[in-house]
């Protein structure tokens, strides 16, 4: 695979100065976003429960989908709070982050910790995707035993990631404290679990035992599935940057390794502008309601190519990172390359001069056998 030449990256001082006007949260904008998210979320959820009880589940389905979409927007607010960028006050960010996280089944402090790691290592091929999804390089995958390879293949199956992966993560995995969680993190996990147990009990008592599982759980499934879809394509796409095993550049990881997913206006609203992910990764302190303005105002963002739905489809099959090129590849391409390497004849350097141009690059050299004195 050819590796695109790196673009001319702005210096640290250049991009810091360019984005500085957008890094300050605005209380008025944050309040408006809370109102135009929370009010329709609760009204839509109430309508879904009412129609499910009085008409049918199919009549409730449009409102279940609407609440699921608003769940994504709530999660983006929670996400901004984790970066300290939603409102000017740190304590207010943490308070809003906890309550919006509670509504989307997310333990705020625990998620904030993992997401901070993601921002620190995103695009670093030496890492395994901590705070994001499980990522293996070709070398890691090929060196694994049968069961580890099988586990990675199952994990990377589109049905796993886009089917039930999101629901599993938010509804099951987040119900327990992660390894190494401190006392505050554990307390928040148990508090959110207790809240949703109480809600499930109250709904079951007033509306019947099936109501919670036919309305609230589908809302969560819609929201988490869309959220995982968005999150996946923020770093999974052809030619996304990964630092090699010896080099990694923060600016390139943001501008070339984080996508500009150009979405329809309605989906941009529900996703809280997170399609401007290249801007967000360059500066997580920019609130979501300023990402688009920042993208439009800063000249070097114009060189970031927007992702299309076709790009997203192709990216579904990108599963491994080539640590030599710093690019995504597929299981099929990696297997073909491995087969070609094994089938390539082994010749000495003396014989290389007789090979056709280009062939010498795929022929393994004969390594000298170390002598006793060189061991």
Identify whether 350 is part of a domain: no
pTM of the model: 0.84
374 confidence band (pLDDT: 50, 70, 90): very low
Identify whether 54 is part of a domain: yes
Higher pLDDT, residue 350 or 329: 329
Strand pairing report for 327-329 and 306-307: unpaired
**DSSP 3-state assignment of 327?**
strand
Q: How many domains does the chain fold into? A: 1
Q: What is the pLDDT of residues 296-308, one digit of tens each?
A: 998 888 888 888 8
Alpha carbon 375 to its chain's center: 47
Identify whether 24 is part of a domain: yes
Identify whether 164 is part of a domain: yes
321 confidence band (pLDDT: 50, 70, 90): confident
Cα distance between residue 86 and residue 94, in whole Å: 10
Tell me which range, 13-17, 29-33, 114-118, 127-131, is most confidently predicted by mean pLDDT: 29-33
Identify whether 340 is part of a domain: no
Identify whether 357 is part of a domain: no
pLDDT-wise least confident of 214-218, 222-226, 357-361: 357-361
pLDDT(372) > 60: no
Cα distance between residue 283 and residue 301, in whole Å: 13
349 confidence band (pLDDT: 50, 70, 90): low
Identify whether 366 is part of a domain: no
Q: What is the pLDDT of residues 27-62, one digit of tens each?
A: 999 999 999 999 999 999 999 999 999 999 999 999
pLDDT at residue 120 in the model = 81
* Domain ranges, residue 78: 12-136+157-310
Identify whether 4 is part of a domain: no
């Amino acid at each position: 695979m050819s590796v695109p030449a790196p673009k001319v990256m702005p210096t640290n001082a250049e991009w810091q100065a360019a984005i500085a006007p957008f890094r300050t949260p605005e209380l008025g904008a944050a309040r408006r976003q809370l109102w135009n998210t929370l009010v329709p979320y609760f009204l839509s959820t109430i309508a879904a429960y009412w129609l499910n009880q009085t008409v049918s589940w199919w009549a409730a389905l449009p409102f279940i989908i609407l609440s699921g979409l608003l769940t994504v927007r709530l999660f983006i607010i929670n996400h901004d709070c984790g970066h300290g960028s939603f409102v000017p006050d740190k304590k207010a960010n943490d308070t809003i982050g906890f309550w919006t996280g509670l509504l989307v089944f997310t333990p705020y402090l625990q998620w904030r910790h993992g997401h901070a790691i993601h921002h620190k290592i995103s695009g670093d091929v030496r890492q395994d995707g901590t705070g994001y999804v499980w990522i293996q390089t070709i070398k890691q995958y090929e060196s694994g035993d049968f069961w580890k390879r099988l586990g990675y293949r199952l994990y990377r199956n589109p049905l796993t990631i886009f089917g039930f992966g999101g629901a599993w993560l938010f509804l099951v995995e987040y119900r327990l404290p992660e390894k190494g969680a401190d006392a505050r993190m554990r307390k928040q996990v148990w508090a959110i679990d207790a809240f949703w147990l109480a809600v499930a009990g109250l709904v079951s008592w007033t509306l019947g035992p099936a109501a919670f599982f036919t309305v609230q759980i589908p809302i969560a499934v819609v929201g988490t599935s869309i959220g995982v879809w968005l999150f996946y394509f923020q770093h999974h796409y052809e030619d996304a940057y990964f630092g090699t095993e010896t080099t990694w550049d923060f600016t390139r990881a943001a501008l070339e390794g984080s996508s500009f997913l150009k979405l329809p206006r309605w989906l941009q609203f529900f996703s809280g502008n997170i399609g401007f992910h290249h801007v967000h990764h360059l500066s997580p302190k920019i609130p979501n309601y300023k990402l688009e303005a920042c993208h439009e105002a800063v000249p070097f963002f114009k060189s970031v190519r927007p992702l299309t739905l076709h790009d997203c489809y192709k990216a579904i099959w990108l599963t491994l990172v080539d640590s030599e090129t710093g690019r995504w590849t597929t299981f099929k391409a990696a297997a073909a390359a491995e087969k070609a390497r094994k089938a390539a004849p082994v010749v000495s350097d003396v014989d290389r001069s007789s090979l056709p141009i280009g062939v010498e690059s795929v022929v393994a050299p004969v390594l000298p056998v170390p002598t006793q004195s060189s061991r």
